[in-house]
Structure 1
């Protein structure tokens, strides 16, 4: 059985840190995630682009919004940490099949909640004042994962925290989910499709939110509201 003492030690160490120190660690963590998305996103684009890759740079405004999103994501991370530290959010640390079960529960629950939120924001005045910022990218680039209105960033984070508040997920399931969440976010904003059509049509893969799936949403905003899967769009008639 894997040794879980290291993770427990890390959690114990973080819980004893002053708020400013813990917040700084979470800010560095979010900054590193952003850097990895931007670097690996461009590498994938260059490797799998079907047309000659056109180099691009990010504008000052894009960097400003991206940095703001990172600060807000850090605030959300710290809020979850504070709630866990005070026993309001509870998580298990055992190594068992619970990890797989909790990951699937978190994955599909977040997929459904984000689909509902995404659909409603498109069908209300919030689109013009909030979500339209993200849809300025017709052909998205990796940084567009972080080009979000502050209200949208906080709302997505709140959905995640609500789930953690009502169910004691396994911490390893949470970590796996967060990694998968970043991977889906990055691939959805590549502007190209790295997976060949044959792979995308495999029995399980065809229900996932591939790069093409989300790119089509940027092109045709009335379709493909899902994030990780196309299940809800297929059920509610918004799949393209």
Structure 2
């Protein structure tokens, strides 16, 4: 059986599952992602620093992390429901179009999140919800999930709107979601795994590195991008440090 057929069969199986089982499945998926971020993030900190940072996650951080997982589960289910009712269309086939769809997803989401991120920093929304995330001046892995609930739903909403307006390839979506988690984890390590030489590379200098996002946590007026520094460069919000 071809991999495309196996994936289609898996999706067909999801369609037959009871609602409660679907919710548990999507919750388990999000909890697994969170666990991997915390474990791999900690391992990277130990690998790149002579002495691993000494910190413990607080009960408040665990609570917000749990709420974020539940809301991400709701976003996942919403996407499934929209696909089930043919509001979201996806393609399942291995081809070079996967790369094209991934690039569109990567850059479109980066732009949409830049705009949303800039708006919440420049309006009353910062004090209302985003200040919570910026309590972490020196971020650590769990801070990827320490978000105001409205912010979590808003980021998820941007993702769903993009899927509604364009029929993406499922493989490209999976690749994008994987890259999204990797960028989120690396951006909240509190250290830079890439050397200065790599970060100065003509191509890599446009990537949103850990240093790029760490600078944003220390200077809330610059570096609003997520995956790249392209939009900060275009709109004059790039930190000069």
TM more than 0.5: yes
| Cα separation, 2, equivalents of 1:92 and 1:143 | 33
Is 2:124 the counterpart of 1:159? no
State the partner residue of 1:220: 219
Residue 6 (structure 2) pairs with residue 6 (structure 1): yes
Equivalent position of 1:32 in the other structure: 32
Separation in structure 2 between the aligned mates of residue 19 and residue 211 of structure 1, nearest angstrom = 39
Query: Which whole-Å CA distance do the structure 1 matches of 2:10 and 2:175 have between them?
Result: 17
Q: Which runs of 5+ in 2 are unaligned?
A: none
Asked whether the 8 Å contact 2:45–2:53 carries over to 1, the reply is: no
Query: Which digits, 9 at most, give the CA deviation of each residue in 1:115-168, with x for residues without a partner?
Result: 000000000000001100000000000000000000000000000000000000
Task: Indicate yes or no: 2:182 matched with 1:180.
Answer: no
**Counterpart in the other structure of 2:42:** 42
Q: Which residues of structure 1 form unaligned runs of 5+?
A: none
The alignment's C-alpha RMSD in Å is 1.1
Q: Distance in 2 between matches of 1:80 and 1:3?
A: 22
**TM-score scaled by length of structure 2:** 0.97
Q: Hey, what does 1:104 align to over in structure 2?
A: 103
* Aligned partners of 2:38 and 2:142 also within 8 Å: yes
Distance in 2, matches of 1:30 and 1:203, equals: 35
Q: TM (normalized to structure 1)?
A: 0.98
2:3 aligns to what SS in structure 1? Answer: coil
Give me the whole-angstrom Cα distance separating, in 2, the residues matched to 1:94 and 1:156: 27
Report Cα offsets for 1:201-224 as digits up to 9, x if no partner. 112111000000000000011000
Alignment of 1:1-240 (within 5 A): 3-49=3-49, 52-240=51-239
- Give the count of matched residue pairs: 239
Query: Which contiguous aligned blocks of 4+ residues in structure 1 show a shift greater than 6 angstroms?
Result: none
